[in-house]
Structure 1
């Protein structure tokens, strides 16, 4: 009788070869992964510091905070801070001190050049440890003309005008006023941008330090046959000057620019413009 032998296992060599194959694949993948460079962490963007003038009118601080919230909504993840030149907390030196030596772009909530833009803000920035750049003031710019137009429409300015209405209408662009000639130049440019947009004359006038005053500009336009004269408020926030100018309006008076969405877009534009200029200079 022939002795029986247990059946030979065919699976052992197969399992060994499979294990070797998997091990080779794992080894090759591990080698390839070692060749992949680690992800590069992008540096945090420079902080955006809104530089407001400051006011004793509590509505001004409320407005600036609302504008800051709009900027944050448009650019999530961007650090946005607030500092005032005077009258309100936080003051700009304190805001900059809290940043340490971080990078920051200071965006003045001012509508023209002048002493604050040329002297006050650079002086405070130079005294801080933070690595700062100061952006251009908000005005003049076509986005400001857009926001001024929107505020006029809210106050009752017609969406459309025929020729007769245009010939009898005009706008006084009421600004704070300054003895700095650059400020007057910028305000006149802002008036021209708004005039181009509206198709009617726009005369710059001032609450202080410059002429003509708002009542003088209104009277001159009325005497020239412009009987529907509106006052556009060239102020970033409510306050004493803005209220005085509005009271001189014989027809409609627009609200200050305030926290209009276009203002938030313009702030981010000035921030990006400053960074782009820095990149160009570095190249």
Structure 2
């Protein structure tokens, strides 16, 4: 079965380079079949453009850290609009434990110290499924670090990252460390870097765990959670 990787998309060239590097890593891991990369928003190739070049049957893997609107509604709708009945939509990344471990590694590499107040910064969504995924990621990060982890959003939902950082400082935190729950650099990571925290972890990026997870989702797509009507 061929593979369609679907990322959100960003106008930042650095973010696109990271996504394309992950796609290259995935292709190296696939024993057979073709693999294409598409973006759900902002940049191309679009899902329709990628599917025109990708023969079926195929499994689409949404490379999203939360199963919100894009995963549940937008991606299936774009595939359905292509008239393809041979494309299955597999499970999104969500709060996968392997990626939570990477976020913790990035935080430690940025200078996290035991005793720092920790915030997991997510893009944010009003979608209940995405909110639940983000909360689960924060809980898992807290278990890894052995301390509570506050959850904050960058663009949607709430509370926002600067508000949470300020509240932690007002509550007596000497240092505040932010774990980035983002896949690639871009505007959202730039906002984290400027939010006033003492430590800001890098995005998950091209860590091998990302490509491994894409391959695992592709293999599991025989029993997808979402199937375009």
TM-score for both structures, normalised by structure 1: 0.74
Residue 85 (1) aligns with residue 40 (2): yes
Q: Distance in 1 between matches of 2:120 and 2:9?
A: 22
Unmatched runs of 5 consecutive residues or more in structure 1: 1-45, 159-164, 279-283
Q: Work out which of the residue numbers 257, 274, 279 in structure 1 matches 2:204.
A: 257
Mapped to 2, the partners of 1:76 and 1:61 lie a distance apart of 25
Of 38, 58, 68 in structure 1, the residue corresponding to residue 13 of structure 2 is 58
Whole-Å separation in 1 of the counterparts to 2:49 and 2:108 = 39
Write out the 4+ residue segments of structure 1 that deviate beyond 6 Å after TM superposition.
Answer: none
Give 1:198's match in structure 2, choosing from 145, 148, 151.
Answer: 145
Higher RCO (Cα < 8 Å, 6 or more apart): 2
CA RMSD in angstroms comes to: 1.6
Structure 1 or 2: more helix by fraction: 1
Call closer, same or farther: CA 1:130–1:259 in 2, change over 3 Å. farther
Q: Secondary structure at the match of 2:199?
A: coil
**Structure index of larger Rg:** 1
What are the superposed Cα offsets for residues 162-214 of structure 1, whole Å, 9 maximum, x if unpaired? xxx43xx2221111111212211110100001110111221111112211110
1:69 aligns with 2:16: no
Q: Deviations over 1:135-181 (max 9, x none)?
A: 121111111111101211221235xxxxxx43xx2221111111212
SS at match of 2:36: strand
- 2:227 is matched with which residue? none
- What is the match of residue 10 of structure 1? none
What is the distance in 2 between the residues matched to 1:126 and 1:249? 43
* Residue in structure 2 matched with residue 48 of structure 1 by the alignment: 3
Provide the secondary structure at the position in 1 that maps to 2:213. helix
| Cα displacement (A) at 1:78 | 4.2
Write the distance in 2 (CA, Å) between the matches of 1:256 and 1:243. 11
Superposition pairs for residues 1-283 of structure 1, below 5 Å? 46-100=1-55, 102-128=56-82, 129=84, 131-158=86-113, 165-166=114-115, 169-275=116-222, 277=223
Number of equivalenced pairs: 223
